[in-house]
Structure formats: C-alpha cells, structure tokens
Amino acid sequence: MSFDVVKFCGLSFKGVTRSILLRESEYLKLIITVNAEFIVEAYKDKKFMAIINDNYSTFDGQVPYFFSKLLSPHDAEKISGSDFIYDVIDRCKATGQTIFLLGDNRVNNRAAVEYVKEKFGVNCVGFSPTFEPYPFSKQNDMQIRSELEKVNIDYLFVGFGAKKQEFWMSDNYDYLQSLGIRAAVGCGGTFGFLSQNIKRAPVIIQRMGLEGFFRFVKEPKLFRFRRLIKSFVFFKYIFKK
C-alpha cells in the first residue's frame, strides 16, 4: 500500500520516498529532513512547523522513523540529507545536471565539492558564506545570490544547520525558483561527511538510532549533549494527530 502523506507527531511527511523527491516538477521542491530535534523545535516555533508541513518533509531520524512505523505502518523510506545527496549525485551523473553545495565552513565545502567532482565526475559547485545568525545581513545575502547566479543549478544543498537553512530556503523560495532550481535540500552537516573530514557513524550505529550519540562521543561538546537531551523530548508528541 502506498502513502503520499504520512502523519506523525502532528506533522505531515510528504517526502516519503526517493522517487517522489526525484520526480520532475515545474515547481521548486523544498526538502526538509526531519529528525527528533526538528519535531521538538516545530512545537516551539509555528513558522518552522509550517515549513515542515507545507513542503517535502522526510523521516531523517531513525528513532522517529521506527515509532512512526510502529504506531501506523507505512511504506515511507528513511531519507537523510547525508544519504539523499548520493541519490542526487547518481541522477546528476546520468543527466549532466549540476549540484550546488551552500554552507558549512570553507574547508569542508571546498573538500566536498572536489570529492563529488573527482569521485563521481559530476558538475558540482560550492560556496561557504560568512557565518551569521539568521536573518543574514544584506551584504551576506547579496554575496550568496551572486554565487548562485554564476552557474545553472539543478539541485541545491543547504548546510546552514537546523532551522537556519529551512528559514532561508523558505524565505527565498521565489528567488530560488526563478533560478530554475529543481530541489533545495536542508542537509545540516552533510558536507563534513562528504568531504571525508568528519567520520559518519557506521551503518549499524545509524540503524540503532545512535548516530547523534556517536557524534557526541567523537566530538564531546556541550551543544551536542544538549541536542541529544532535546531529542528525547519528541516522545511527548508521538500521539499527536
């Protein structure tokens, strides 16, 4: 049985399969990869909740994905930005389309771009803007737009971090569509993994839902501990309709 929309934690997940996300459309697709932290933040910020509900949201976190299937069986796939980028790379390799990597620090961004170009032979361009809280300054926004307009982009991956990347994509929807971009994906720390500068958790750890814990062990910083604790709060919303 196929589902176009899966309801979980009071949110609507519309990006339920890779085929849906990669399907050609005349409109720009904003793709939101939702983990437990996103669910918690959605109940703190109605604008963020609207962005999740109104766009192509996927199950990113393994634990929310597991409980969504347990409570109401469905055939949605678990799709994180760090996995989906390889599906897009395969598409672009076959079609000659272009990927743009926007965000992260300059070292990771540059290394990720080079990795995609050299490993897969795909057209890939990137830019790491000045780090700022959102909303960005006019100067920073203009610089980002200047870089985006230098190349014809098919797929845009935005690695600004949770909420910042989603707000930026949503606020710039009309502009990004005017550039002819097919899909814009919020992808968090994907470029760090793609650059090979940061080791991603082994697949077995990912499937156990312990990827966040793995990152904390590898990089024991306070903000990562806080994110782990926040992730558990999503359980209070699992019976929301």
**Spatial separation of the C-alpha atoms in residues 209 and 211, rounded to whole Å:** 6
Considering only CA atoms, which of 217, 162, 122, 171 is closest in space to residue 42? 162
Task: State the pLDDT at residue 211.
Answer: 80
| 71: three-class secondary structure by DSSP | helix
pLDDT interval class at 239 (50, 70, 90): very high
24-54 tens-digit pLDDT: 999 999 999 999 999 999 999 999 999 999 9
C-alpha distances (whole Å) from 225 to each of 52, 74, 220 are 24, 32, 7
What number is the average pLDDT over the span 51-71?
Answer: 96
Q: Are 190 and 198 in contact (CB under 8 A)?
A: no
Scored b (16 or more CB within 10 A) or e, 190-220 reads: bbbbbbeebebbeeebbeebbbbbbbbeeee
**Spatial separation of the C-alpha atoms in residues 35 and 82, rounded to whole Å:** 13
| Dihedral sign of CA atoms 44, 45, 50, 55 in order | negative
The token pair at 174 is 């009309």
Residue type, 47: K
**Spatial separation of the C-alpha atoms in residues 42 and 54, rounded to whole Å:** 13
Percent of the chain exceeding pLDDT 90 equals: 82
What number is the average pLDDT over the span 152-171?
Answer: 98
Percent of the chain exceeding pLDDT 70 equals: 98
Average pLDDT in the chain:
93
pLDDT interval class at 1 (50, 70, 90): very low
**Spatial separation of the C-alpha atoms in residues 219 and 93, rounded to whole Å:** 34
Tell me: pLDDT of 11 over 80. Answer: yes
Task: State the pLDDT at residue 203.
Answer: 79
214-224 tens-digit pLDDT: 776 777 777 77
